[in-house]
Chains A and B, each alone.
Chain A
Amino acid sequence: MCGHCGCDVPVVPRRIDLQRNLLERNDNQALLNRLHFSEHGLLAVNLMSAPGSGKTALLEELARRWPQRPLGVIVGDLATDNDARRLQQAGARAHQIRTGDLCHLEASQVALAFAQLEHSGMNLLVIENVGNLVCPAAFDLGESLRLVLFSVTEGEDKPLKYPGLFQRADAVVISKIDLAEAAGFDRQLALDNLQAVAPHAQLFETSARSGAGLAALLGWLQDALPS
């Protein structure tokens, strides 16, 4: 049948060339976000790690130390607004996104959250992604920098197991270094693995507990601020 009138002319399918990116809606929104952030003179950072690697703890310390301006944070979790409350207590302007069952943040969610964040006088916006080392890698949020964190208790081979995320990182933070000895962390092995998959990434080693390494990270972020 031809599909129109029920006659018996056989259907000959025709091929349409499309070459369309499946993430194009997200990528278009990310582009808008990027423009928007830049109009506001904001440095936007996408912070990603496995669940519990210490993203929020690091941002609490950053909020306490970030000079002169309030630190802006958009934070995504499957449920609860615990992280936003922790960050607000540390002095950040934080907005929580509850993603329900979504394993990553998308550009449209960030746009909505940003509209609800009082961003006057802010020069740094960190987007704490959902704890997940796979899915967030594919979704551009409109950030200028990608920061990937992994803690000394997660195993030295994290970068080899999740290369996608590490390969696209501008900087990698090894976190919880106060626990390195107790965890039997092989620092040289971790650095070798990082060097192998992310040779271009700037490296920081921090502890939110002791404050070690925070000044270096702070300085790097300040240098990256739009002039």
Chain B
Amino acid sequence: MHELALIEELCLLAADSAAQQGATTIHSLQVRIGDRAGVDAAALQMAFAVLAQHPRWSGTKLELEVVTTRCFCPHCKQAFTPLDVIHLCPQCGSLSTHLLQGRELELVSMEVS
């Protein structure tokens, strides 16, 4: 798994943005991950804990929001939440290949001072 690499990417982004904003302390990071993004929330927290041994990040909280998959049915012109990995529209029973959300790997915001 590549959770550690993702966390490094996250910290680079966060540190860059903080510097641009003239902030010296990052209190928290709000990160959104889709349930189909191929990463595990617990593993991400563990990877962050490894990094947070560094004083730069020891006071920073990582807040993860897991986003559940939503699909779009082109026949019913409607969004739906699939029951499992098979994206069956509950209205008409057709298979959707159009994912509206579920693949996010996103630094949404952060709290700085």
Contacts of A211 in B (CB 8 A): none
Contacts of B87 in A (CB 8 A): 197
Instruction: Please report the C-alpha to C-alpha distance between residue A16 and residue B56 in the assembled complex, in whole angstroms.
Output: 19
Given A17-B108, A20-B13, the answer on whether A12 and B113 have CB atoms closer than 8 Å is: yes
Contacts of B9 in A (CB 8 A): 22-23, 25
Contacts of B75 in A (CB 8 A): none
Name the one of B106, B107, B113 contacting A11, with C-beta atoms under 8 angstroms: B113
Q: Is A67 among interface residues, defined by CB-CB distance under 8 A?
A: no
Contacts of A138 in B (CB 8 A): 37-39, 103, 105
Q: Is B21 among interface residues, defined by CB-CB distance under 8 A?
A: yes
Q: Is B36 among interface residues, defined by CB-CB distance under 8 A?
A: yes
| Cβ A14 vs Cβ B113 within 8 A | yes
The segment from A39-47, A78-86, A119-127, A160-168 that touches chain B is A160-168
Contacts of B42 in A (CB 8 A): none
Name the one of B1, B95, B105, B110 contacting A16, with C-beta atoms under 8 angstroms: B110
Contacts of B85 in A (CB 8 A): 160, 163, 197
| Cβ B108 vs Cβ A16 within 8 A | no
Instruction: Please report the C-alpha to C-alpha distance between residue A177 and residue B113 in the assembled complex, in whole angstroms.
Output: 61
| Cβ B108 vs Cβ A19 within 8 A | yes
Name the one of B6, B17, B25, B39 contacting A20, with C-beta atoms under 8 angstroms: B17
Q: Is B109 among interface residues, defined by CB-CB distance under 8 A?
A: yes
Q: Is A102 among interface residues, defined by CB-CB distance under 8 A?
A: yes
| Cβ B113 vs Cβ A18 within 8 A | no
Kindly provide the distance from the CB of B70 to the nearest chain A CB, expressed in whole angstroms: 14
Kindly provide the distance from the CB of B66 to the nearest chain A CB, expressed in whole angstroms: 14
Question: Which of B2, B39, B107 has the most CB atoms of chain A within a 10 A radius of its CB?
Answer: B2
Q: Is B10 among interface residues, defined by CB-CB distance under 8 A?
A: yes
Q: Give how many A residues have a beta carbon under 8 Å from the other chain's beta carbons.
A: 33
Contacts of A15 in B (CB 8 A): 109-111
| Cβ B97 vs Cβ A3 within 8 A | no
Instruction: Please report the C-alpha to C-alpha distance between residue A12 and residue B21 in the assembled complex, in whole angstroms.
Output: 15
Contacts of A20 in B (CB 8 A): 13, 17, 106-107
| Cβ A103 vs Cβ B86 within 8 A | no
Given A14-B112, A16-B110, A138-B105, the answer on whether A163 and B36 have CB atoms closer than 8 Å is: yes
- Nearest residue (CB) in B for A196 is B86
Contacts of B13 in A (CB 8 A): 18, 20, 22, 24
Name the one of B18, B21, B27, B38 contacting A135, with C-beta atoms under 8 angstroms: B38
Which residues in B have some Cβ–Cβ distance to A below 8 Å? 1-2, 5-6, 9-10, 13, 17-18, 21, 23-25, 27-28, 31, 36-39, 85-87, 95, 97, 99, 103, 105-113
Which residues in A have some Cβ–Cβ distance to B below 8 Å? 3, 11-25, 102-104, 134-135, 137-138, 160, 163-164, 167, 195-200
- Could you show 19 A-B contacts with beta carbons less than 8 Å apart? A3-B113, A11-B25, A13-B111, A14-B112, A14-B113, A16-B21, A16-B112, A17-B109, A18-B109, A19-B108, A20-B107, A21-B106, A22-B9, A22-B106, A103-B1, A103-B2, A160-B86, A196-B95, A199-B97
Shortest beta-carbon contacts, A-B, top 6: A163-B85, A13-B111, A22-B105, A196-B86, A11-B113, A199-B95
A20-B17, A164-B38 are known; give 6 further A-B pairs, CB within 8 A. Answer: A16-B111, A23-B9, A104-B2, A167-B99, A196-B86, A200-B97
